[in-house]
């Protein structure tokens, strides 16, 4: 499962494909009925058996494109009674990531970073049963565990294609977030980002300008805080026509930042910005109208 700009379009195409398959079926059934010859009738008797062949019906069982599938991995779900407070921590009731079945995705992770590891239990001594890359999404398992005395001590349960696992949500390179409303913001940047010979510089220029719009600084200990951006993927990574960038650290309790989709096009001897879309990245959840809550 991968976040793209065109989720609605993809769904529509999938539905249209299924309707097309359904429309073809009656034509096959009518052919044998319209032929009166007995010799042909014996052949018709075999056709329904071929239609029930599992190899022919497999495409119809697919609900959507590959991007809609959960990432591989996972294991048997851990029972509540097996979560030991002194080893794993306490189950947190009513947490922001305790909504079972809700979809969350990875943000803030570049293609060069190591993926988020999914563990069989909430603890770094457990077995790794899966991974989540920069553009992956998963379903929430419905439980969060925190251990005050252990680092990292905050874990979120997720569901993958083959079962369940736990992700450490105290991660400096990337973490799990909700994704909300998307909107076109081309007009805000098309005149601000100049053409360039390297198309990636144009996409990064959008992220840099958005980062400058939000608070940044340095603590007394010398640590930087505030908005920063990450190049998540290039068009070549997934056969897409846009760059994907995450801008996080906006010092907001509900909205962690934005995922940007920047499209560039050829212009004279180089490239220029053609379109920018952004999707809200939310820390606590998304309302029915797609806003961070």
288, pLDDT greater than 70: yes
Cα distance between the two ends of the chain: 24
Give the pLDDT mean for 10-20.
36
How many domains is the chain built from?
A: 3
**In a shared domain, residues 158 and 185:** no
User: Quick one: pLDDT at residue 3?
Assistant: 59
CB contact at 8 A, 20 and 59: no
**In a shared domain, residues 166 and 189:** no
**In a shared domain, residues 201 and 261:** yes
Of 66, 132, 70, give the one whose Cα is nearest residue 101: 70
User: Quick one: pLDDT at residue 216?
Assistant: 78
Backbone phi, then psi, for 115, in 5-degree steps?
A: -70, 160
What range does the domain containing 203 cover?
180-282
154, pLDDT greater than 50: yes
Last residue of a domain, one of 5, 28, 62: 62
CB contact at 8 A, 234 and 261: no
**In a shared domain, residues 199 and 261:** yes
- 232, part of any domain: yes
User: Quick one: pLDDT at residue 67?
Assistant: 52
Q: Which residues contact 260 (CB under 8 A, 6 or more apart)?
A: 203, 206, 207, 210, 243, 244, 245, 246, 247, 276, 277, 278
Q: Which of 116-130, 142-156, 184-198 has the lowest mean pLDDT?
A: 142-156
- 260, part of any domain: yes
**In a shared domain, residues 57 and 135:** no
Question: 56 vs 124, which has greater pLDDT?
Answer: 124
- 150, part of any domain: yes
- 27, part of any domain: yes
**In a shared domain, residues 87 and 38:** no
**In a shared domain, residues 116 and 25:** no
- 58/254 Cα distance (integer angstroms): 42
List, for residues 254-286, the tens digit of each pLDDT value.
999 999 999 999 998 899 999 999 999 999 999
**In a shared domain, residues 40 and 84:** no
**In a shared domain, residues 125 and 189:** no
User: Quick one: pLDDT at residue 145?
Assistant: 96
Last residue of a domain, one of 62, 92, 116: 62
DSSP assignment letter at 126: S
- 75, part of any domain: no
- 97, part of any domain: yes
Q: What is the CATH number of the domain that holds 149?
A: 2.30.30
- 6, part of any domain: no
H/E segment holding residue 21:
helix 7-33
**Partners of residue 243 on adjacent β-strands:** 262
**In a shared domain, residues 205 and 267:** yes
CB atoms within 10 A of CB 126: 18
List, for residues 30-46, the tens digit of each pLDDT value.
444 444 444 444 444 44
- 6/287 Cα distance (integer angstroms): 20
- 87/101 Cα distance (integer angstroms): 26
DSSP, collapsed to helix, strand or coil, labels residue 38 as helix
List, for residues 170-181, the tens digit of each pLDDT value.
877 899 999 999
Write down the mean pLDDT value for the chain: 82
User: Quick one: pLDDT at residue 226?
Assistant: 86
| Total count of residues recorded for the chain | 293
Question: 58 vs 190, which has greater pLDDT?
Answer: 190
List, for residues 199-258, the tens digit of each pLDDT value.
999 999 999 999 998 877 788 888 878 899 999 999 999 999 999 999 999 888 899 999
- 2, part of any domain: no
198, pLDDT greater than 60: yes
Last residue of a domain, one of 173, 200, 218: 173
**In a shared domain, residues 156 and 188:** no
DSSP assignment letter at 11: H
- 58/46 Cα distance (integer angstroms): 19
H/E segment holding residue 60:
none
pTM: 0.76
User: Quick one: pLDDT at residue 68?
Assistant: 65
CB contact at 8 A, 91 and 134: no
């Amino acid at each position: 499962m991968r976040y793209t700009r065109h989720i609605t379009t993809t769904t529509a195409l999938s539905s249209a494909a299924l309707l097309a398959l359904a429309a073809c079926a009656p034509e096959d059934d009518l052919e044998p009925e319209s032929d009166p010859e007995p010799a042909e009738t014996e052949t018709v008797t075999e056709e329904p058996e071929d239609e029930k062949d599992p190899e022919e019906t497999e495409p119809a069982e697919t609900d959507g494109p590959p991007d809609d599938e959960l990432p591989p991995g996972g294991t048997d779900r851990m029972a509540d009674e097996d979560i030991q407070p002194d080893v794993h921590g306490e189950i947190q009731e009513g947490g922001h990531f305790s909504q079972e079945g809700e979809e969350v995705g990875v943000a803030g992770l570049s293609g060069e970073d190591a993926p988020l590891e999914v563990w069989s239990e909430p603890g770094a001594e457990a077995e790794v049963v899966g991974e989540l890359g920069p553009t992956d999404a998963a379903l929430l398992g419905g439980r969060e565990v925190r251990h005050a005395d252990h680092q990292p001590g905050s874990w979120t349960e997720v569901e993958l294609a083959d079962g369940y696992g736990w992700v450490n949500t105290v991660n400096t390179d990337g973490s799990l977030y909700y994704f909300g409303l998307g909107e076109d913001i081309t007009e805000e940047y098309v005149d601000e980002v100049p053409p360039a010979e390297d198309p990636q510089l144009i996409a990064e220029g959008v992220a840099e300008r958005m980062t400058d719009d939000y608070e940044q600084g340095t603590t007394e200990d010398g640590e930087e805080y505030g908005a920063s951006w990450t190049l998540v993927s290039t068009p070549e990574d997934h056969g897409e026509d846009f760059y994907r960038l995450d801008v996080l650290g906006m010092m907001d309790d509900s909205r962690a930042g934005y995922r940007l989709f920047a499209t560039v096009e050829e212009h004279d001897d180089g490239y220029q910005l053609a379109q920018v879309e952004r999707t809200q990245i939310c820390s606590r959840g998304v309302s029915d109208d797609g806003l961070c809550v």
